[in-house]
Structures are given as C-alpha cells and as structure tokens.
C-alpha cells in the first residue's frame, strides 16, 4: 500500500528566495527551506514521552521492493547522528521525556531522507516494519486535519520528520501523523556545512512549532 504525501508549494518558495538576489543564490544554504504542519486539534500538552529510532532511513523509490520483510538503507551516521540528536534535544527542551519504544511512548518520531527527486512523495509503511512497535500488514499513515492539498518538488537529500501517535490507531489500522517537519535538500556541500545546516534547520522546524511545547 502506498500513501501519497503531498507538500505545500516549496518550489514556489525556492523561486522566491532565489529571486531576491539578482544573480541567484550564491551558497547552497541560501536554498534551505523549512516546512512544518500539524493537526491543529491534537493535544500535544497531554503527551509526555517520546521514542525515536537510532537510524535515519533512505527513501529510494526506484529500488524499494514490495516486501514487508525488507530492511531499507540507512543514512550515514556522520549525518544521521546530527539529525537524531538535534531532534532529541529539541523534544527534551520542550518538556518531553525519551523512553524506549517498548515503554508505550506517547509519541514516536520517524526520521527519513529522500534519495531521489520526486513530485509525489510515496511513503510505504514497510519502510518502518523493522522498527515500529506492533507494525503489521495493512497498516499505514494518515494526516488528520492537515493533508496537504498542493504538490511541489522535494529535492534529493531532503530530511523528513514525522511525529506519530502509536496509541491512537484508526479502526483501519492507520497511524496518525500529528506533526511533520521537512527540510528541503540538506545533503549538498561539505560534511561540516551539512551538519551545521542540519542543526540550524531542524532547530528552526521546532522553533516555528510553538504548539509542541508542554
């Protein structure tokens, strides 16, 4: 099963950012875009714990087989560690406590990186079959209250964070994604530059989501 995950017009924002400079962007970090969205009716303040995997998956639509036992590729730890630790740090600063996935966390945050450019973002449930607690056939995502109505290009190297509520499955085994953060096209440039931008942009995703604070 495939779930189409559409983002707002990031490409339009990219064009606007470039147009502000007569000769276009001079450095790759000038093209960084941070997008967030959430379920406006969700009570984040009632939640206290979260879990997060120790890996960031690569989403590669061309090579991903339809096999529930398949395990995806992972982002190199030199970059993945920065994504995960910056996310953890922000969640702790917001008042949440990290627990193991076996401790029935209120929230689970899944981190992924896009390996190829796509207009539509297809996110198959079995990318997380190896980790997500209780995951099984027929399960998938849904985005209550904020399914994005527009489509835009997502660049290679974009980082996606999805905050899910594992204890609030729908009757059809869909897990609600209550918050989404997308950073467009991070994995370009030197290692030091990429890691600095990872920290800056993920911090920005949480900064522009004040409703997450407890």
Least confident of 112-116, 120-124, 168-172, 175-179: 120-124
pLDDT tens digits for 170-183? 877 889 999 999 88
- 3-class DSSP state of 109: strand
Each domain of the chain, given as residue ranges in start order, spans: 4-212
pLDDT attached to residue 171: 75
What fold, for 4-212?
Answer: Double Stranded RNA Binding Domain (3.30.160)
Which of 167, 163, 155 has the alpha carbon at shortest distance from 180? 163
User: Residue 32 is encoded by which pair of tokens?
Assistant: 């960084």
Please list the residues that pair with 58 across neighbouring strands.
Answer: 113
Asked whether the whole model's pTM tops 0.85, one would answer: no
- 3-class DSSP state of 16: helix
Which of 156, 165, 197, 158 has the alpha carbon at shortest distance from 181? 158
Least confident of 103-107, 181-185, 192-196: 181-185
> Is 11's pLDDT higher than 70?
no
**End-to-end Cα separation, the chain, in angstroms:** 35
> Is 17's pLDDT higher than 50?
no
pLDDT attached to residue 15: 33
Cβ-based neighbours of 110, under 8 Å, separated by 6 or more: 52, 53, 57, 128, 132, 161, 162, 164
pLDDT attached to residue 74: 93
The H or E element containing residue 193 is helix 191-207
pLDDT attached to residue 116: 66
Other beta carbons less than 10 A from residue 77's beta carbon: 12
By the 8 A CB rule, do 140 and 127 touch?
no
pLDDT attached to residue 52: 98
Could you give the C-alpha distances from 40 to 8, 88, 145, 178, 203, in angstroms and in order? Answer: 17, 23, 7, 9, 21
Least confident of 26-35, 113-122, 204-213: 26-35
By the 8 A CB rule, do 141 and 135 touch?
no
Percent of the chain with pLDDT over 70: 69
Please give the average per-residue pLDDT across 78-85, as a whole number.
95
> Is 184's pLDDT higher than 60?
yes
Average pLDDT, the chain: 78
pLDDT attached to residue 3: 36
The H or E element containing residue 82 is helix 77-93
Percent of the chain with pLDDT over 90: 41
Return d(Cα 213, Cα 86) in angstroms, integer. 16
Higher pLDDT, 66 or 195: 195
User: Residue 138 is encoded by which pair of tokens?
Assistant: 């027929």
């Amino acid at each position: 099963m495939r779930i189409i995950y559409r983002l707002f017009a990031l490409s339009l924002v990219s064009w606007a950012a470039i147009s502000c400079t007569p000769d276009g962007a001079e450095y790759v970090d000038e093209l960084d875009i941070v997008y967030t969205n959430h379920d406006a009716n969700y009570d984040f303040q009632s939640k206290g714990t979260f879990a997060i995997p120790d890996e960031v998956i690569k989403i590669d639509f061309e090579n991903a087989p339809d096999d529930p036992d398949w395990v995806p590729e992972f982002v190199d730890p030199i970059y993945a560690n920065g994504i995960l630790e910056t996310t953890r740090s922000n969640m702790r600063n917001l008042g949440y406590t990290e627990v193991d996935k076996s401790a029935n966390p209120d929230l689970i945050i899944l981190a992924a990186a896009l390996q190829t450019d796509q207009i539509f973002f297809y996110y198959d449930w079995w990318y997380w079959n190896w980790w997500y607690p209780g995951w099984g056939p027929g399960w998938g995502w849904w985005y209550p209250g904020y399914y994005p109505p527009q489509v835009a290009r997502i660049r290679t190297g974009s980082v996606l964070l999805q905050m899910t509520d594992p204890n609030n499955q729908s009757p059809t085994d869909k897990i609600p994604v209550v918050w989404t953060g997308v950073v467009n096209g991070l994995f370009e440039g030197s290692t030091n530059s990429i890691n600095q931008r990872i920290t800056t942009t993920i911090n920005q995703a949480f900064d522009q989501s004040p409703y997450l604070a407890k």
